[in-house]
Amino acid sequence: MRPSRSQLTPTSASWSSLTDLLPYLLEFRARIAIALVCLVAAKLASVGLPFVLKDIVDQLDTKTSQTALLVLPLSLLLAYGIVRFANVLFGQLRDTLFGRVTERAMRRVGYKVFAHLHALDLAFHLDRRTGGLSRDIERGVNGISFLMRFMVFNIVPTFLEFGLVIGLLAWNYEPAFALIVFVAVVTYIGFSVVATEWRTRFIREVNLAESRSSTRSIDSLINFETVKYFTNEQYESDHYDTELANWEDARRRNRLTLFALNAGQTLIIAIATTLAMILAGANVVDGTMTIGDFVLINAMMIQVFVPLNFLGFVYREMKSSLANIEAMFALLKIEPKVKDAPQAKSLAAHDAKIEFANVSFAYQPEREILHKVNFVLEPRQKLAIVGSSGSGKSTIMKLLFRFYDCTSGSIFIDGQNINSVSQSSLRAAIGVVPQDTVLFNASIFDNIRYGRVDASDDDVWEAIRMAHLYDFIERLPKREKTRVGERGLKLSGGEKQRVAIARAVLKRPPIMIFDEATSSLDSQSEQSILAAIAEIAREHTSVVIAHRLSTIVDADSIVVLEQGHIIEQGTHAQLLSQGGKYFEMWTIQQKDTDANCEVS
């Protein structure tokens, strides 16, 4: 069952995300083990520092001979320096060793999510919000870095240090000191957990507001031309400002709750530190503790409560990171509706014969798009599909390319059911020239080479010539290195169409689909492209979805669709002689052509 979009943002941060993350961390087991040894060594050195400091203070406070004053404190001071250096050194080694683990996990997860998104079906991508989705992935990958860095480098070491400090205080001094630290730690953690859980919804509101504002801005910028067409710049700016206002309000509530949390944590630390120092001071006055002991207790309190204060921030951010990681892993749990069959074989498309057998399809159960469609396209023949808008022409292309699976019936290529072969091999055998060509913001040459990324320069130039792009490219200041802009906006519709044709030609698959490939071309360009298509079609099995009937008069077979039904089928001459729907469409278009000629 496909999770809904709302399910992609979890309602609560779950520690189960660590289970999902664990396999990505175990690639470096030995490195993790050494890092943990360094972690323990660093904390042992850290806890030892106050005891060395105590001995230094006591020695300096003791009235002994001049020699003892010069030698013994010096050795302790050197020991203090060595222990502090060891603390820093082991900490740095731990960070360095574990950094590789975290970076590799981020890379593996990021790659897997990206690949999985490309494996999802067309229906998911039609519903997606690109801006919000990109933020989910970005926050999830960054969340891994934060979670690993602070959980391993702060949470675990801090709790290890708590245990050591409480044990040493109970062993060397009266139990009251250990009790103060224990109660303060438990109270602090309990308060932090309760308050952070309370704050989680405010953090989520900020994230949601960020995603919405990001989505709105990206959608608006992607549709830059549409905004200009309808002079809706102010409308878009106002809409974006509304989303930013929601973000500002969410941030304000988040900031106020953070103030309440920080104030409570600071109060707990202040009370505990004050009680410990009062007790230590009283013991020094009574003579049961030395000045060095007083310094040790003070150093212990600072050593315990500084990371404890930081622990509150870490826990809050870890909960936020867990929510972000869970949202990202939720993407991996989305199952595509179109899947390869178990042990799916590669398509063997030698002749590229296509057969639709009783194919029906509906995007929603209550609205059927195709109804029992039957036709056979022989190898190296050209089939044209015509009909009014919404009749199901492009749906046939999407079913053949397996963007969707048939509701009923089967599609065969060379006798192989396309549901039984791998999607990658099926799509490798089909080249598509879409009606709406979207290009990458790269050079014209790179956009064409995208049809076969390992093609040689000579192959790309040959595809350029076949698509009648050569003269256009030669006129450009930077020739083939000219960048086409976001989605190809620097090119005209006809120029983009020819780039798409060149790209499909370069792929050279056995099956070619032209989805109204000349719809954006002028009459002269159309004729040159039609000549190229005719040349290509001789070597391929071709499916042409056409609006202009004049472009498909040479088709070996023409299918006329009406509301998802095939109502006529035959050659151009046969369909005209029948005097049916095709004849009606032809007559109307011829009248329009004659009228345009008279006007011009």
- The 10s digit of each residue's pLDDT in 44-85 is 666 666 666 666 666 666 554 444 444 555 665 666 667 667
Structure tokens at 113: 């999510």
191 and 126 housed in the same domain = yes
Find all residues with CB under 8 Å of 493, minimum gap 6, and list them.
520, 521
Higher pLDDT residue, 524 or 347? 347
3-state secondary structure of 413: strand
Q: What is the DSSP letter of 579?
A: T
**Predicted pLDDT at 16:** 61
Residue 215 lies in a domain: yes
441 and 502 housed in the same domain = yes
pLDDT in tens, 132-142: 566 677 777 77
405 and 467 housed in the same domain = no
How many angstroms separate the CA atoms of 508 and 391, rounded?
Answer: 29
136 and 223 housed in the same domain = yes
3-state secondary structure of 494: helix
Residue 338 lies in a domain: no
Strands 511-515 and 430-433, by their bridges, are parallel
End-to-end CA distance of the chain: give it in Å, rounded. 58
Residue 550 lies in a domain: yes
Residue 418 lies in a domain: yes
Q: How confident is the model at residue 448 (pLDDT cuts 50, 70, 90)?
A: confident
Residue 370 lies in a domain: yes
Residue 337 lies in a domain: no
> Which of residues 458, 484, 508 is at a domain's end?
508
389 and 515 housed in the same domain = yes
> Which of residues 301, 332, 363 is at a domain's end?
332
**Predicted pLDDT at 8:** 43
504 and 515 housed in the same domain = no
pLDDT in tens, 160-179: 777 777 777 778 777 888 88
CATH number for the domain harbouring residue 486 = 3.40.50.300
419 and 529 housed in the same domain = yes
403 and 318 housed in the same domain = no
83 and 216 housed in the same domain = yes
Q: Which domain holds residue 449?
A: 436-508
Enter the pTM of the model.
Answer: 0.61
CATH number for the domain harbouring residue 153 = 1.20.1560.10
390 and 504 housed in the same domain = no
Q: How confident is the model at residue 213 (pLDDT cuts 50, 70, 90)?
A: confident
**Predicted pLDDT at 2:** 43
> Which of residues 303, 332, 361 is at a domain's end?
332
Residue 57 lies in a domain: yes
Q: How confident is the model at residue 4 (pLDDT cuts 50, 70, 90)?
A: very low
How many angstroms separate the CA atoms of 424 and 432, rounded?
Answer: 14
Of 112-126, 231-245, 261-275, 537-551, where does mean pLDDT reach its minimum? 112-126
Q: Into how many domains does the chain fold?
A: 3
Residue 299 lies in a domain: yes
Higher pLDDT residue, 592 or 397? 397
111 and 253 housed in the same domain = yes
Q: Which residues pair with 189 in a beta bridge?
A: none
598 and 486 housed in the same domain = no
